[in-house]
Chains A and B, each alone.
Chain A
Amino acid sequence: MSILHTVNKSPFEKSSVGSCLAHALEGSSILFYEDAVYAVLKGASIEPLVAGFDGVKLYALGADLKARGITDDKMIDGIEIVDYAGFVDLSAEHDKVQAWV
């Protein structure tokens, strides 16, 4: 049973990102969008938490990265950028969606 976790809150303002990372099991995916895309910035204090995953695929929504000035060179390696259609595909590919609102 695979879960797509979606998070949209800043990792520094709410516990959503931290809790999501703590609950994601192997085989699941995490999509960061809206203010949660700040979680992908390289060199941040939460980087070890975000980058330390095996078996969990990480995605970020491109439109939200662009809006916030997070360019590719500022991102933690291994995070895949998706567009809105990709967001829909991910939702369809997984058995269920857990939204960390």
Chain B
Amino acid sequence: MSEDIKKFMYVNRRAPHGTIYAWESLEVVLIGAAFDQDVSVAFFDDGVYQLLKNQDTSDIETKNFSPTYAALGDYDVTKLYVEQESLEERGLTIDDLMDLKWEDEDEDWAEKDSIRVVSRAELSSVLDQQDVIFSF
């Protein structure tokens, strides 16, 4: 089985709410998590907006899926790459993003950060290492 594990990356480059891409991507990530692959998710360009804190869609009457990102750890999706340059262009820092954690079963459920802020160059090389890329 183990030799069949592939590196899957989901690429998020769109802002949430204005279009359906962000939510569609999140649903596909959650469904795909059932396949026991080596999953990571990238957020760059407008995709970084998906992880902003304090999102509340009650007044625009659409599904508020921003709390769902916190469930990714339960689905063993623990590698969320966020591009530093994309944050900077948008006036954002990691402190503006949700504090997403996952619990490491092998270390007595120790809480670990899911978000990894990486440079554009680092992200490019992570992309390059993937077997499969899904783009949204």
Contact = CB atoms under 8 A, between A and B. Distances in A.
Q: Do the two chains touch directly in the complex (Cβ atoms below 8 Å apart)?
A: yes
Interface of A: 8-10, 12-13, 34-35, 38, 41-45, 47, 62-64, 66-71, 74
Given A44-B90, A45-B91, A68-B15, 10 more contacts: A8-B18, A10-B18, A12-B46, A41-B92, A43-B92, A45-B89, A67-B59, A69-B53, A69-B54, A69-B56
Nearest to B91: A43
A50 to B, nearest CB: 11
Given A42-B91, A45-B89, A69 B60 contact: no
Contacts of A47: 91
Instruction: For chain B, give the interface size range.
Output: 20 to 34
B68 interface: no
Instruction: With a 10 A CB-CB cut-off, give which of B15, B58, B88 has the most chain A CB atoms.
Output: B15
B55 interface: yes
Nearest to A46: B89
A55 B92 CA distance: 28
B45 A74 contact: no
A69 to B, nearest CB: 4
Q: Which of A34, A38, A62 has the most CB of B within 10 A?
A: A38
19 contacts: A10-B46, A13-B14, A35-B19, A38-B46, A42-B91, A44-B91, A45-B91, A47-B91, A62-B59, A64-B60, A66-B60, A67-B17, A67-B56, A68-B15, A68-B49, A69-B52, A69-B56, A70-B52, A74-B91
Contacts of B78: none
B20 to A, nearest CB: 12
A58 to B, nearest CB: 16
A71 B55 CA distance: 9
Given A12-B89, A12-B90, A47-B91, A69 B66 contact: yes
